[in-house]
Amino acid sequence: MAKLYFRHGTVGSAKTLNLLAVAHNYERQGKKIIVIKPGFDDRYGQNDVTSRAGLTRQAHLIIFPGDRIELEKFDGINCVLVDEVQFFAPEHIEQLRDVADQKRVPVICYGLRSDFRTKLFPGSQRLLELADSIEEIKTTCHRCNSKAIFNLKCIDGKAQLDGPSQQVAGDETFQPVCSVHFTEQVDLTSYEDLQTSHNDRELA
């Protein structure tokens, strides 16, 4: 029985690099793969799947909101690889489940588990509910040697909790951090904002 896999990790944990390595190994053996990515992710170009290490390849299938992942596209395919899966809608995850079940082809999904507010992405939540196998791709905290579990949004040195959940940005905006440093940075920003507000009232 083919499985639906969810391989999740924080930003900077080499998820896409892992995907590209798996794609290379399948193709080196003469096997057919399909690489899928969301249309929302256009950081390196809408058709490109690119790792922070600089390796890249083109996706075979770009999925936009409202698109349907049609089963007939997967005839004769040996493996399906999905990048940035957190940007997919829950119904797309259900369709990927159908690909694994009905086409008997493994579907390996890579992405973030939670956003910069530590909340699950809807697509990731559905994967946690439906996946046969859930694996963590580990990396260390940007600020210490502990394991990173959260994604810190940091602009001009300050933690941010504002803005849309779905955002495309790089190392200049998001950092992998442990729970201690996530809480520390968020609390520090809250304190600084409170002090600024207090000073503004005194000046008024």
Which residues are designated catalytic? 84
How many Cα atoms within 13 Å fall on the side-chain side of residue 17? 11
What's the token pair of residue 181? Answer: 């440093």
Query: How distant is the alpha carbon of residue 37 from its chain centre?
Result: 11
- Residue 113 identity: R
29 φ/ψ sector (left φ>0, alpha ψ -120 to 50, else beta): alpha
- Residue 49 identity: V
Phi, psi angles (nearest 5°) of residue 59 = -75, 150
How many residues belong to the chain? 204
CB 24 within 8 A of CB 81: no
Phi, psi angles (nearest 5°) of residue 18 = -60, -45
CA 4 – CA 86 distance, rounded (Å): 15
